[in-house]
Chain A
Amino acid sequence: MRELVAYDTIGYPTDEKFLAFMKGIVEVGASAIEVGLPPAYAKYDGPVIRRSYRAVNTRKLEMGSVLKELRHYVDVPIVVLSYVEEHLANVKKFLEEIYSYEVDGVLFPDLLIDFPNKVEEIATITKEVGLKNVIFVTPTVPDSFIVTTSKLTDLFLYYGMRPTTGVDIPIGIERLVRRIRELVDKKIIVGFGLSDENDIRLALSAGADGIAIGTTFIQALETGGVEEALAKGRKLMGLLNEY
């Protein structure tokens, strides 16, 4: 059986719906939760997730209380997703803050790409604070870096296969997954633009341990609310359970 990692932007579309979706998706079978914090510049996000960031940004959000409440609802790992660019001045303070909200880990999508020399340092601080690392790699990361940095990851290695989230750029999924499967013995979760069932099957057949889904859920939350998003989740779990 392969894993589902579910993403939503914190408090999107509302705090209540966010929490209801997260609780529901864990009941459906998600094995980890990713929570996006709205950044000033969502460098690797497509239009849908960017829209969710903007919506959340326009209202006052109590990040701490939302995350703490989420903790009450779910017992699977909660991973906070944030661009490290925003926290460079004081990474430790940021990590301590989110740790205090009882989340499990942190994922910085831009860490390896924009700050390759800081990966070890920041991964070490993350551990010291008590959080788990989720290292994010892409196909443009050289093999040697994939090998060394995948050793630093705790929960799983997140492999963003397309250049941006939610945009269905044509890629050779099997070839991309096989390339890193040979290099990494950690759990590999693949994401970015994965909505097509056939794409997902190709990734799983090629050796991915699970999938990360975000844009699809957000679109469902927007059009049909929590129920529709959970229905999507059940469908995806059905597919994952075939493997």
Chain B
Amino acid sequence: MVDEIIPKYWYNIVPDLPEPLPPPRDPPDDERSKIDLLRSILPKEVLRQQFTVERYVKIPEEVLSKYLLIGRPTPLIRAKGLEDKLNTPARIYFKYEGATPTGSHKINTALAQAYFAKEEGIAHIVTETGAGQWGTAVALAASLYKMRSTIFMVRVSLEQKPMRKTLMNLYGGEVFASPSQLTEYGKKILEMNPNHPGSLGIAMSESVEYSLRNGYRYLVGSVLDLVVLHQSVIGQEAMKQLELEGVEPDTLIGCVGGGSNFSGFAFPFIGNNVGKEYIAVASKEIPKFSLGEYKYDYPDSAGILPMIKMITLGKDYVPPSIYAGGLRYHGVAPSLSLLIKRGKVRWREYSEAEVFDAAKLMIESQGLVPAPETAHAIASVIEEARNAKKSGDRKTIVFNFSGHGLLDLTNYESMMKRLRE
């Protein structure tokens, strides 16, 4: 059964996009090519996957065995409790990525990238993390491949979530708050503002700089095509699982930080013309869809990486500190940006209060605590299910439950205090 469901290939949507995907590029006035610099930043095979565009890429046996080890395929669960609570004629299913040991989908690419790094003889990998899901995934992947890992965690998140740091430490990762004194870029930011809360863009720049300086390698957690490629295990499994259940999906929903869980979940459906509508959900507090611009911008704040064409709030965007809902990254993966711009994928944004209500409804009806990020997708699921009730539509909604929220309880505590009192 497992063999039937776990895909043997990763799926890349680029050959099936409605338009050419603008490639990463160097800015006009560059002294040294940032594209060239990628060769010192990313593991070689990871870089090769980024630029060798083909529809299906074989998953190495070794990575498949690690996918099994962490419990893939993840469950596809019918949210009967939520359906009943909403009294909707719609059927609701979710792909439960919270089932992996690190509690989110992030491990799907961390394992692949760590494997390629290990094969290349890399002994130490570096990355950034916001909420800590990605940092945890990298720390575990590094541990499974017996490498060292260093994680730059956005300062405000680290203060709010000491447990995530503990978990990363347990896996053997070392964790620093970003902005830090360990990099030139971190020092520069701290000079301007010693109390800077940090941002993913800054932490990303610090990780890349730290990795370059020490001759380590950097693992990338979202946005780039290669990450989206690795995450396609989610959608391919879900398609197979729905098929085995005899269910045809109508609406597919996922939340969007950098876009990797949404894309990994939805792209296999989109590329194979399965499903009728696709909804990408972000936060009203970090309004990338409503206020972002579709243009070439840097993935990281220091501008060490090449420019990519994406929907972006600007590389120097700093999210509101008080906000606890996640999805704070300033940009959206180029492939997903293109699909949104062309109207193939629709978008929604919800406020923190709406997201909190959605999480509560999920917790009360299904018993699962969603990551605050995932709760954005759930808010949209609830809206769709309520609309279905009004119109009597018996459609099937499938969403990606990107992670659990058991290490985000301080976020919920903060939301309860601010939003309910």
Contacts and interface: CB of A to CB of B under 8 A. Distances in A.
Interface in A135-170: 137-143, 145, 162-164, 167-170
Interface stretch (B1-9, B19-27, B102-110, B410-418): B19-27
- Secondary structure at chain B's binding surface: helix, strand, loop or mixed? loop
B198 to A, nearest CB: 30
Nearest to A174: B52
A179 B52 CA distance: 10
A31 B321 CA distance: 61
Given A116-B19, A142-B18, A142-B20, A169 B25 contact: no
Contacts of B47: 169-170
Interface string A96-137: 000000000000000011101000000000000000000001
Contacts of A141: 20-21
Contacts of B26: 46, 164
Nearest to A46: B33
Contacts of A41: 28
Interface size class of A (residues with CB under 8 A): 20 to 34
B48 A140 contact: no
Contacts of B14: 139-140, 142
Interface size class of B (residues with CB under 8 A): 20 to 34
A176 interface: yes
Contacts of A170: 39, 44-45, 47-48, 51
B392 interface: no
B17 interface: yes
B20 A164 contact: no
Nearest to B306: A163
Contacts of B24: 163
A214 to B, nearest CB: 15
A162 to B, nearest CB: 7
Nearest to B307: A43
Given A143-B15, A176-B52, A179-B15, A164 B21 contact: no
B53 interface: yes
Interface in B53-104: 53-55
B420 interface: no
Among the interface residues B22, B45, B55, which one has the most CB atoms of the partner chain A within 10 A?
B22
Contacts of A43: 25
A140 B53 contact: yes
B38 interface: yes
Given A46-B36, A163-B51, A172-B48, A138 B28 contact: no
Interface string A169-185: 11110011001000000
Interface in A27-76: 40-44, 46-47, 50
A177 B346 CA distance: 34
Contacts of A172: 48, 52, 54
B23 A112 contact: no
Among the interface residues A46, A141, A168, which one has the most CB atoms of the partner chain B within 10 A?
A141
Contacts of B54: 172, 175-176, 179
Given A113-B20, A145-B19, A162 B36 contact: no
A216 to B, nearest CB: 16
Among the interface residues B17, B22, B24, B33, which one has the most CB atoms of the partner chain A within 10 A?
B33
Contacts of A176: 52-54
A175 B52 contact: yes
Nearest to B23: A163
Contacts of B35: 46, 163-164, 167, 169
B191 interface: no
A171 B53 CA distance: 9
B213 interface: no
24 contacts: A44-B23, A47-B30, A113-B22, A116-B20, A137-B20, A138-B23, A139-B53, A140-B14, A142-B17, A142-B19, A142-B20, A145-B19, A145-B20, A163-B23, A163-B306, A164-B26, A164-B36, A168-B39, A169-B51, A170-B51, A171-B48, A175-B52, A176-B52, A176-B53
- Nearest first, the 6 closest Cβ-Cβ pairs linking A and B are A139-B53, A172-B52, A140-B21, A170-B48, A141-B20, A41-B28
